[in-house]
Structures are given as C-alpha cells and as structure tokens.
Amino acid sequence: MRRIHYMDKLFLDFLQPDQVLNSPEELLAYGKDWAKGFKANASLVLLPKSYEQVQQIVKCCYENKIALVPSGGRTGLSAGATATNGEVVLSLEKLNKLISVEPTQRTLTCQAGVITQKIQETAKENGLYFPIDLASAGSSQIGGNVATNAGGLHVIRYGNTRHWILGMKAVTGTGELLELNGELVKNQTGYDLRNLLIGSEGTLGIIVELTLKLAYRPKSFHRALCASDSMENVLSVMGSVREKFERVSAFEFFTKDCIECVLKHHPMRNPFETIHPYYALIEIEDLSESEEEQFQETLLGIFEEERITDVVVAQTSLQSEELMLLRERIGETTSSHYTVHKNDLAVPVRHIADFIREVEERAPLLFPDCPVLLFGHVGDGNLHVNILKSDALEVEDFFELCHKNDHDMFTIIQQFSGSISAEHGVGLLKRDYLQYCRSEAEITLMRGIKKVFDPAGILNPGKIFAPERA
C-alpha cells in the first residue's frame, strides 16, 4: 500500500483545497475514534460534498492503491475509524442533508453524515420515532450506526439498526455507486446486498445515503431503578416484568462500581440511601394509569419477595431522565476519567448470570488491582466489561496485559457460545480474536465477499481481519 507523505495533488483535481485537510491537528482529530490504545497515523483527510466526489475519491484510490478509512462521528469503540497506517481518512461529515420524510410510509431518507440525534429529532417533529438510541447519539452519524449495526438501549423491543434500514446507496471499492432496495418493503430478488453492508465497518463500501424506517412514537416512558443483592435476582425481575408487560423497551444493568464511578465524577444524586451490589433500570412504554399502578404493585411484590432490596419509580420526567443518565453516563465517564480497556460481549440471555459470576471470579486474578466495571443491555445478553488501569501500571503495560488476558476472557465467551463483540464491532480491537466466535469457514467466506466488493483491498484494510499478503 502506497503511503502519502505530502499534500497529494491527486485529489485536488476534483476537490477544493478546503476539502483536503493535512495539518497535524486535523490528522490527529480525524485519524482516531474513541477506542483507546491505538495511535492515529493518517496521511490526509478528505471531505467530499457529493456522491460523485466519493466515487471520484474511491476510483482514484483504487487506481493508485491508496488505503481509505471511512469516517463518521468517530465515536466507535473498536478502532474501526482509526487510521494507524498512513491511510487517507474519508469523512462523511459534509454529506449531512436530510432529504425527505414520508409520513404515509413512515420513512426518512438522508445522507450518511447526518448526526443520529438529528434523525431522532426529525422523526419526533413528524410525530414518529427512530428507536435506535445510544449515549453517543449527539455525535455519531447514521452512516456509522449502520456500518456498525449499532444496538443501544432499545434493542430488547426494537432490534438493532439493521431492522430500521429500508434502502441504501453505497460506493464499492471500485468506485461504483450501488442503489440498494430503494423504499421497498418487499423485494425478494436475489441476495440482499444491503444487509451485507450493514455492520461491515467500512470494509465493503462507503455508505452515502439511507432510507430509514420509522416507528409509531410512544406517548410516554415509565422508568424504575431496582437494587438487588444478586444477579440471579436481577434476571428474575426481568422475567417477571416482561411476563406482565409487553412494551418493556429497556432493561439495563450495572454494578456498585459503576454507580460509584458516575456519582464521583458527576454532580448527581444517589436515588437510594446506600450503595447496592447490582442495579436494574427498567423502561416501559405507554402505560395507562391502571397499568402504572400494576407496575408499581409488581415491583412492590418483588420487593416483598426479597428479590430486590430497594426500588424507586420515577414520578416526573426529570426523575426519569436522571435514572437513565445514571446508566448512560457509565461508558463516557470511564472513557473521560480513566485509562480503560472496553470489552463489549454477548452471551445467550439464559447464561448471563453464570457468565457474570465467571467474570467476577476471574477478573481479579487476570487484572490484579484494576477495577472492573460491569454494565450493559442485559435484556439482550449484552455485557460491557470495562477494565480500568490501576495506578501501579504504566499505560502500555496495562494494554499489553489486557490484550494478553482477552484470550482468557474470550475462552469463557466461547464456552457460553457467545460473541466477542455484541455491538461495537471488530475493528482493530477484536480483529485478532475473531476465531473465538466465527469459524474458519465463515472467515474464509467473509474474506471472499470483501474481495468481490473491494478487489484492491483499499477499504479500511486491516479492520475485521488482517489484510491478506499479496
């Protein structure tokens, strides 16, 4: 792969000078996402303003064998949008137009660089709902959400991003513009290429436009926070609540260390008088007055059975927001205030208590003196294991220890038939561990698919799997 050490004239044939950035600050800012432990080393940053310019860039890179890193809001946590090897960063930030909302068919069409929160707000303005919701929604782009098949808080009710993508336009590794599925709900005409691109982390194509499905807007969200002494009880609460209420839209979990960490770094109120070992945040949509009462009675019954040790039901929208913030701030707090190694794991829901027990037993042995924060979308079997660096370790030694011990962590995952990446993607972070959850046969097929979409191997090379030697 050719490295570029100077302002390459190639791109100025079809881009304006302000669309080609190369100052050290810009290369650093655009060359990195939120993943820790990887150094940015980008050669150039390109800011195309049209689909044609994206095609021109890709064709130019294809002809000159220049590696490209597609870049969205750079909130990714697997280093998928990090350029470590002198690549050119192609940022979608100027392709940020909302194209149309069609209330009759409940769709929204937009360019890939639109910020996720803007989609949520536009849906709301039209009385509709975009249910993909992440703590990073204020910065992530819809193209990035699709490229990572993002999950978030509401997967338990609405599924992940894949479920909300009707149509897509994307540029392949040869510069061809594909228009996939348009606005069709039904279209059984061969392979669904759109679904291959969803979750492909910029390795098969550059997504430039999307038609999203929108949902009916819930009128209200009802939230409660439960405290418990055991993970088994947290899961049994989930069973009881889901048995009685159909519209459970979030069931989130976190431990004592997580709430202590958030309260330490944010001026927030502890909703309980003491700190408890485990917490479950429950969100249900559209409860009628009588259902609200039933919700409170259900929780009271669970309390009397001693499956929970305390509970607070939000009475106002402010309280409801505060409860959700306690959960949402965990990821951002660990990233902003600590050196952290993040593991985003999944196991079948029925194994989650056993898996957590195993992690709680093993983690202190694998990471002595490092606080281990467990939280996640437990209703989907998705657990975030955040390991914080201890003061005794140098940063490099810490990451070396984490990458070495990930093998043990992923062996446990394998035993539970789980996944080494539930929703953050493989990127560079999980690349060398893919075999813990995908077979050789699957990886060979994936490599073959990449070659078809990207014959020169210029799209995000080294992400998901190491580039093949020529």
Ligand X SMILES: Cc1cc2nc3c(=O)[nH]c(=O)nc-3n(C[C@H](O)[C@H](O)[C@H](O)COP(=O)(O)OP(=O)(O)OC[C@H]3O[C@@H](n4cnc5c(N)ncnc54)[C@H](O)[C@@H]3O)c2cc1C
CB-nearer residue toward ligand X: 31 or 202: 202
CB 213 within 8 A of CB 464: no
CB-nearer residue toward ligand X: 168 or 393: 168
To ligand X, the closest distance from the beta carbon of 329 in angstroms equals 8
**Which residue in the set 71, 228, 249, 421 belongs to the binding site for ligand X (CB under 6 A)?**
71
The site map against ligand X for 426-465 (x = CB under 6 A) is: -x--------------------------------x--x--
Contact between 386 and ligand X per CB under 6 A: no
To ligand X, the closest distance from the beta carbon of 54 in angstroms equals 9
401-430 residues near ligand X, rule: CB under 6 A = 423-424, 427
Closest-approach residue to ligand X (CB):
144
**Which residue in the set 15, 88, 128, 206 belongs to the binding site for ligand X (CB under 6 A)?**
206
**Which residue in the set 202, 379, 381, 462 belongs to the binding site for ligand X (CB under 6 A)?**
202
Helix, coil or strand: residue 463:
coil
Total residues interacting with ligand X, rule: CB under 6 A: 39
Burial class of residue 332 (count of CB atoms within 10 Å of its CB; 0-12, 13-18, 19+) = middle
To ligand X, the closest distance from the beta carbon of 226 in angstroms equals 21
Bridge partners of residue 115, in order along the sequence? 141
* Per-position b or e across 249-259, b if 16+ CB within 10 A of its CB: bbbbbbbbbbb
CB 237 within 8 A of CB 308: yes
Length of the chain (residues): 470
141-160 residues near ligand X, rule: CB under 6 A = 141, 143-145, 147-148, 150-152
To ligand X, the closest distance from the beta carbon of 17 in angstroms equals 23
**Which residue in the set 32, 36, 74, 450 belongs to the binding site for ligand X (CB under 6 A)?**
74
**Which residue in the set 27, 44, 123, 135 belongs to the binding site for ligand X (CB under 6 A)?**
135
**Which residue in the set 31, 70, 173, 199 belongs to the binding site for ligand X (CB under 6 A)?**
70
Contact between 92 and ligand X per CB under 6 A: yes
User: CA 338, CA 335: separation in Å to the nearest integer?
Assistant: 6
Q: Which long-range contacts (CB under 8 A, 24 or more apart) does 17-22 make?
A: 18/47, 19/46, 19/47, 19/48, 19/49, 19/53, 19/94, 20/44, 20/45, 20/46, 20/47, 21/45, 21/46, 21/47
Token code pair at residue 358: 């195993």
Smallest CA-to-CA distance from 285 within 239, 251, 335 is with 251
User: CA 92, CA 188: separation in Å to the nearest integer?
Assistant: 31
**Which residue in the set 37, 80, 418, 461 belongs to the binding site for ligand X (CB under 6 A)?**
80
CB 95 within 8 A of CB 49: yes
CB-nearer residue toward ligand X: 152 or 461: 152
8-state DSSP, 43: S
**Which residue in the set 331, 371, 461, 462 belongs to the binding site for ligand X (CB under 6 A)?**
331
Rounded (10°) CA dihedral 389, 346, 79, 14:
-160
**Which residue in the set 109, 111, 140, 320 belongs to the binding site for ligand X (CB under 6 A)?**
140
CB-nearer residue toward ligand X: 79 or 123: 79
CB 7 within 8 A of CB 20: yes
Return residues touching ligand X (CB under 6 A): 33-34, 69-77, 80-81, 92, 112, 134-136, 140-141, 143-145, 147-148, 150-152, 201-202, 206-207, 331-332, 423-424, 427, 460, 463
